[in-house]
Amino acid sequence: MAGRLSLPEVDLTCPVCCDIFREPVVLKCSHSFCAPCLQQYWTRQGRRRDCPLCRAPSVDDPVPSLTLRNLCEACVTEDGGQAAGDAEGELYCDPEVMCPQHGEKLKLFCLLDREPICVVCHTSRKHKQHDCCPVGEAVADVKDKMKSALSSLKERRESFEKMKKNFENTVVHIQEQARFVERRTHEEFEKLHNFLQAEEESRMEALRREEEQKSEGVRQQIQELEEELSSLSETIKVLEEEMVLEDLSVLHKSKSTLARAERPVEDPVLAPGSLIDVAKYVGSLAFQVWERMQTLIKFSPVTLDPNTAAPWLVLSDDLTSVQDSDVKQKLPDNPERFNPDTAVLGRQGLSGGRHAWEVDVGGNTAWVVGVAKESVKRKEKVASVLNNGYLCVYFYHKMYFAGTSPLTRLALKTNPRRIRVQLDCDKGRMSFYDAHTNAHIHTFKHSLSETVFPYLWVGCHNSPLTIQPVEVSLKLHDLS
């Protein structure tokens, strides 16, 4: 509504009695007076009829001022006459807002033209037969609409403020996620670096030992060869000395010398394997290290997605284990997250082929294991049954169920501590087994028209649910 317009009280005061106009009239000179005050003034003047202010003669009778009378009545009503009107709940327009054409109060509101009008306007050609209502009712209707709009805007502002806070918390959470990934990446690469460094040092140590061993073997052969050379040199020297002798002395001394010279001696040859096995060290070096790395590296067929985990769940750093808690973490309420259901999905969606994984349920007394369709509702608590988009088995109140509609009670001979899940997306088969005994638990036959994700729900603090790692092996293709 426009601001209220008002006139100073002095402008509504008669210059003769100095009070609010009563039955105001206006002279030809444009000055206004109370009709009784002007008549009393003229009576005292005798036969003269002039203006009390400017003394201009007034030949014509004074004209009643309807506009001024309405303003004065409104002023009097504001000062003390409004109580009765308020009691009846009647609302009036500002007294200064008058009909510019007829000088009457704008007491009506044209519902067709959406504008305030006076009583005279209502009978005019412009507004004739238009539906109208009192201005007070129109004001009340507008205020109701304004109140409703204000309430809606406040709710929206409150919602936006919550969203802004959530977005700010999301920025902080993103930074925390980045730091977590940095830490985990450094830790994993540190393990790899340590492994590679230890592997390198081990290989260098083996190389040094072989170098020393092979060198020592050749040095022993060199020593034996030096001893043989010394013996040969000595024999050669003796023969040379005896060859210069004459007569019978040669015959006497040459017998032993010739026997010594004619002693059979094998030619020196390097022993087999004297050299370092270079190929053992450098042949397919990276592959050999990779093969040995299998003892260090673990592979999980399912990696849990922390962006889907309910705020009460605590995930292990390697994202293979989940446990319930009493503390609700301050996490962004992103669309992927389950809340309030204490559930979490696997990171990788499955839409084709065959897949298998095992979940260690341990001593947990409330759990659900299976898959969930991508379209499942995540912001409300729903039963994990087939018609809600889940293919699961669960354990609750010491009973096992399959999530059919209605539920199927499962009679198991033993309490499985590890559940094996086998999914054939192409055939639409989902089977559950006791991983230790290989006993069949339940099989769903349900065609999959959309991507599904491994699903875990945990409802107690006793123990976590853990995805078991699988053995990794290297397979070489036969080229024959």
Kindly report, residue by residue over 295-342, the tens digit of the pLDDT. 888 889 999 999 999 999 999 999 999 999 999 999 999 999 999 999
Question: What is the tens place of the pLDDT at every residue in 412-469?
Answer: 989 999 999 999 999 999 999 999 999 999 999 999 999 999 999 999 888 899 999 9
For every residue of 219-274, DSSP letters joined together read HHHHHHHHHHHHHHHHHHHHHHHHTT--THHHHHHHHHHHHHHTS--PPP-PPTT-
Structure tokens at 367: 């759990």
Structure tokens at 307: 């962006």
* pTM of the predicted structure, to 2 decimals: 0.65
pLDDT at residue 14, rounded to an integer: 83
Higher pLDDT: 74 or 220? It is 220
Question: With 90 as the cut, is the pLDDT of residue 215 above it?
Answer: yes
For tokens 């088969």, the residue is 429
On the CB side of 52, CA atoms within 13 Å amount to 21
pLDDT at residue 150, rounded to an integer: 94
Question: With 70 as the cut, is the pLDDT of residue 8 above it?
Answer: no
Question: With 90 as the cut, is the pLDDT of residue 33 above it?
Answer: no
- Which residues, at least 6 apart from 373, have a Cβ–Cβ distance to it below 8 Å? 389, 390, 448, 450, 451, 452
| All domains of the chain in start order, with CATH | 24-64 (no CATH), 177-265+273-296 (no CATH), 313-468 (2.60.120.920)
Question: With 60 as the cut, is the pLDDT of residue 95 above it?
Answer: no
